[in-house]
Amino acid sequence: MRPIVIAGNWKMNTTPTEAGPLATELALAMTDDAVIRVVCPPAICLPAVAAALDGTGVAVGTQNVHAEQAGAFTGEISAAMVAPYVTWAIVGHSERRRDQGETDALIGRKLVRCREHGLRPILCVGETLDQRESGVAETIVLSQLAGALDGLDGEMRSAAASWLVIAYEPVWAIGTGRTATGVDAGRIAEVVRDGLQEHGIEAAAVPVLYGGSVTSAAVGEFLAEPGIDGALVGGASLKVDEMAGIVARAGITARARAVAAGR
């Protein structure tokens, strides 16, 4: 049975002084251990958040890692630098594709760096509004997936079902207040798993999350889809009540699926 994962992406919000107390509040509100809970603050806040969440059962993730181990890359941060504080990493977020020009091949190298340092990556894929309206959403998602997975060697690929998580984030639904429907997201989850299977990965074991203006009111529609296994939450992840509601709803799904699986 695939786990249910709720990951909060704080993006470029909070200072180190603010981050620790917010993480503590979130941990006190997100107590359902049937759900994997992950908090991804800005890199400068990682030590404070890791200290605040130590022993709470809530994991810490980084929003990005560099594609190289080390070197002359001013302003960047490597997987080795964040590994003492995190166990998860967001890779290939649409905002980095857009603002930093990240390519699928570059993102694939970041997946490799994550695995070398024991980080579990959340690989983001998703189409723009123009691409969806042009009828090429599925083609774009498959292309992004293939481009990133091509960078994995045979050993990493054969074990990918145990560490890879995919987040489908329709770009047109991020920060706009618009959301895809549960049916839309469920269909893309099927497409993602088809693509994983084509790359020799045990697709049925890989969690697929939805990300795109996720709220406590809307998340149930996506979790009702059997192919959706959680959410990558943006702005709402900074709101304690919202995250509490999202995790509580995810816990219902986790328990229902456990019962259905006879566990």
Strand partners, 62: 89
Distance CA 263, CA 252 (A): 14
Residue ranges of alpha helices (H) inside 94-208 are 94-99, 104-116, 129-133, 137-149, 154-158, 182-198
Residues 95, 102, 127, 169: which is the catalytic one?
169
Does 66 participate in catalysis according to the annotation? no
| Cα atoms in the Cβ-side hemisphere of radius 13 Å centred on 70 | 4
Dihedral (C-alpha) 137, 179, 164, 248: value to the nearest 10 degrees?
-160
Contact 43, 12 (CB under 8 A): no
Does 242 participate in catalysis according to the annotation? no
Residue ranges of alpha helices (H) inside 30-103 are 46-53, 79-82, 94-99
Distance CA 255, CA 260 (A): 9
Host H or E run for residue 261: none
Residues 93, 117, 127, 225: which is the catalytic one?
93
Strand partners, 125: 168
Q: Which residues are catalytic?
A: 93, 169
